[in-house]
Structure 1
Amino acid sequence: MKYLSILFTMAICITVNGQTIIGQWETFDDKTKDKKAIIEIYKTKNVYYAKIVKSFVGEKDAICETCTGTKKDTPIIGLVIIENLKKDGDEFNGGTILDPENGKTYKCYLELINKNKLKVRGYLGISLFGRTQYWSRKE
């Protein structure tokens, strides 16, 4: 019984201290460092997703013209860009990330660097060929 109590207390501490990827994150342009969007990461059952909740680029009612399939011509705000991630040790992987600027989908993994910094890696094939961004937790 003590063991379960300790685990429960640890789980509460991790959530309280922000040691979770769930929440809102700010993204920035790789070159200009301007803020691009606010992304909300959420969990359904044991699977993680992320959607755009605010964009600082383009029109307020912009749509994803470059997307394909069911996401083609859908509004950027509310667009799910990360799908099917699962926690695997210190990483979250096995999912995909959509780049709404070019409509391409990549494999991805996330790693919480600290409570306010998230490493986001999108890649093709093996993780050597891809791009890494660092997102900041929205305060």
Structure 2
Amino acid sequence: MKNILWLMMLMLLPTALPAQHADAVTGIWLNEEKDAKIQIFRSGDTYAGKLVWIANAYEADGKTPRKDSKNPDAALRNRGLLNLVILNGFEFDDGEWEDGKIYDPKSGKTYSSKMKLKGNTLEIRGYVGVSLLGRTTVWTRSN
């Protein structure tokens, strides 16, 4: 009888564990270098993220806000970095946010990306082509 009871508990355990909620990724995140904060938010059925704080937000003159100067599109190089959307198109599926894009304003490059939440850390994998050919950065939830 004890064996049957244990077996039933083991079978029900996966349903008792909390499932990852799609909106769990929303909020303010500090990047790995600790020089930027990104606000991740829901945008329709997908998730996006924008720069809400950056260290050295101004050019050397201390007055001119930093621009997206590395952008490959010359028409976009004059836009400011603050509130710039750098994450977009992420769809929640099976505990991960997939099929998104991440823009790196430091290099001006855009990568395919996926994200995985682990407690108060967010693993973001940027890649070209296949995920195997990429790099993972870890962000921490900001207070």
| Superposed displacement of residue 71, structure 1 | 3.6
Query: Which 10-residue stretch deviates more, 83-92 or 51-60?
Result: 51-60
| Superposed displacement of residue 88, structure 1 | 1.0
Name the residue aligned to 1:52: 51
1:132 aligns with 2:131: no
Letter in 2 for 1:67: N
More strand by share: 1
**Pairing 1:26-45 to 2, within 5 Å after superposition:** 26-29=30-33, 35-45=34-44
Q: Which residue, out of 68, 76, 80, partners 1:64?
A: 68
1:85 aligns with 2:90: yes
Distance 1:38 1:83 in 2: 16
**CA deviation vs aligned residue, 1:63-89 (integer Å, no higher than 9, x gap):** 011113464321110110001110011
Name the residue aligned to 1:121: 125
Distance 2:97 2:142 in 1: 20
| Superposed displacement of residue 121, structure 1 | 0.7
Letter in 1 for 2:82: I
With normalisation by structure 2, the TM-score equals: 0.76
For the residue of structure 2 that corresponds to 1:96, the secondary structure is strand
**CA deviation vs aligned residue, 1:41-60 (integer Å, no higher than 9, x gap):** 00022110000000014526
Distance 1:39 1:113 in 2: 17
1:23 aligns with 2:22: no
Letter in 1 for 2:47: Y
Distance 1:26 1:44 in 2: 20
Letter in 2 for 1:128: L
Distance 2:41 2:113 in 1: 16
Distance 1:71 1:40 in 2: 21
**Considering only CA atoms, is the larger Rg found in Structure 1 or Structure 2?**
2
> What root-mean-square deviation, in Å, do the aligned CA atoms of Structure 1 and Structure 2 show?
2.2
> In percent, how many aligned pairs have the same letter?
31
The total of aligned residue pairs comes to: 120
TM superposition outliers: structure 1 runs of 4+ over 6 Å: none
**Contact residue 37 and residue 57 of structure 1 kept, 8 A:** no
Name the residue aligned to 2:104: 99
Name the residue aligned to 1:108: 113
